[in-house]
Amino acid sequence: MKLPIYMDNHATTPVDPRVLAAMLPYFQEHFGNASSHSHAFGWRAKQAVDEARQQVAALLSAKAQEIIFTSGATESNNLALKGASEMYRDRGNHIITSVTEHKSVLDCCRRLEKSGFEITYLPVDGFGCISLESIRRAITSRTILISIMAANNEIGAIQPIAAIGEIARENGILFHTDAAQTVGKIPLDVEKMGIDLLSFTGHKLYAPKGVGALFVRSENPSVRLVPLLDGGGHEGGLRSGTLNVPGIVGLGEACRICLDEMPAESARLSALRDKLQAGIFSALDAVTLNGYPANRLPHNLNITFDGLDAESLMLSLSDIALSTGSACRSAGHEASYVLKAIGLSDDLAHSTLRFGLGRFTTEEEVNYVLGRVVEAVRQLRDLSPARVSAPVGKGF
């Protein structure tokens, strides 16, 4: 076992060696531009992109032509929301989302509000889940889009995506989901779930940073978007710019691996996660699990250590890579809006750590992390015992 131990796989994942091996030839040997149609270098690059597109589509049960390559989930979310809003503005100006979405969705919605769109930000329950009835009540004759993330990036809560897709379909409304944390972790089927637009990124599933994709439904309904970027008309005119062939190849290979290994990997990670959780809760008082005990991402564990400052706790755990929440919040000391949305006070939100297990996490590492966390919490509480309130729960 090597130190430090990485347990922040929600923020990013290391590139799988198999992914790297697939990418390497496309940096030098097969370096052609996929849009160069007059010679073998371009043909080889285009062939690689076409194969990757099929690999990505297979993971989502989509068609290859429905996959648009982007720079990542933030761009995909922006293209989905802004592109759909502009295209269907003549039909309405109302969008439904939730208060716990990723910043790339929330900030996009706030930008659309400045352009005259009306946004309904639905609350979540104490588990971080959206109410189906609240979605139904929010729909108006001017609603054109529902955007609800597949699973939360902080507390791992899995949303009822198929049921939301059914509601959207019944009302003739487009349904977008930010699946950055979900693709490759649990099964997603855009057909069965009624998803019209789906965003994700490579660096959450052991592919490189700087590459992602957007699923855009081609029929029933045929979704049209106004592009964000103007240029050479790449990616069906939706995303102009020279394709990142090595990154796309890596994303395709990562999706192929996930399709083959996801059931076994998810079972292994959920078992390790449960072992870590059980160990912490059996050894410590005044700790609380945030989110659903079961209906959560298999690699996610979000715990509040009442009476402790999470930043101080992380300093005591300098040999372990953890986080206090999303890596995408610009204001590092701001209390997590996700935790506040599920009912935590600022103090409790600031006492919370997120554990993100991953493909390369071992049982030996979990045992080490468990021992170190328990040790650090006890030491910090001994230094300031008055800060610990009555126990808030053993688990949930």
Residue whose C-alpha is closest to residue 217's, from 276, 165, 160, 263: 165
One-letter amino acid for residue 122 of the chain: L
What is the distance between the alpha carbons of residues 106 and 280, in angstroms, rounded to a whole number? 33
What is the distance between the alpha carbons of residues 68 and 215, in angstroms, rounded to a whole number? 6
Q: Which DSSP letter does residue 75 get?
A: H
Query: Counting every residue, how long is the chain?
Result: 396
Dihedral, CA of residue 88, residue 66, residue 240 and residue 47, to nearest 10: -170
The burial class, CB within 10 Å (0-12 / 13-18 / 19+), for 133 is: exposed
What is the distance between the alpha carbons of residues 337 and 155, in angstroms, rounded to a whole number? 12
Residue whose C-alpha is closest to residue 104's, from 288, 218, 228: 228
Q: How far apart are the first and last CA of the chain?
A: 32
Determine whether 108 is an active site residue: no
Distances (CA, A) of 113 to 90, 102, 109, 283: 16, 17, 6, 48
Alpha-helical segments (H) within the chain: 17-23, 40-60, 73-87, 103-114, 132-138, 161-170, 245-283, 310-316, 337-341, 346-349, 363-383
Catalytic choice (108, 109, 255, 328): 328
Q: Mention every residue, 6+ apart, whose C-beta is less than 8 A from residue 222.
A: none
Q: What does the block give as tokens for 225?
A: 């978007």
Could you give the 3-state DSSP secondary structure of residue 235?
A: helix
Long-range contacts of 264-267 (CB under 8 A, 24+ apart): 265/359, 266/185, 266/186, 266/298, 267/298
Catalytic residue annotation: 328
